Amino acid sequence: MTKSDLINKVAEKIPGGRKKDAEVIVNSIFDGMVEALAKGGRIEIRGFGSFHLRHRDARVGRDPKTGSRVDVAQKKVPFFKAGKELKARVDTVGDPSTKPPAPEGPAA
């Protein structure tokens, strides 16, 4: 799914379905997430997962084209850990052994 697909999905849920409103919502959420991570914070979305920063130490790498040594500076990289509910839902999607529950009530 791309960002524009996500915006379209959000627009479907908004009364009136204005794509511009959905774009503002999605961008606001992403901007807030980036800001929180940039400040060294942690983001936790219950049932979905969490984002946090991992510290990578400085190291010596190799240029794959020339084979020469390259100093790689230390950096912080975002890391996502999927939540238990997300893992379970993804695991059961498309699994033929999991059937949807049978409809209740008398058959018509």
pLDDT at 82: 95
23-47 tens-digit pLDDT: 999 999 999 999 999 999 999 999 9
Closest CA to 53 of 29, 82, 72, 80: 80
Instruction: Residue 86: count other Cβ atoms within 10 Å of its Cβ.
Output: 14
Flag whether pLDDT at 8 surpasses 90.
Answer: yes
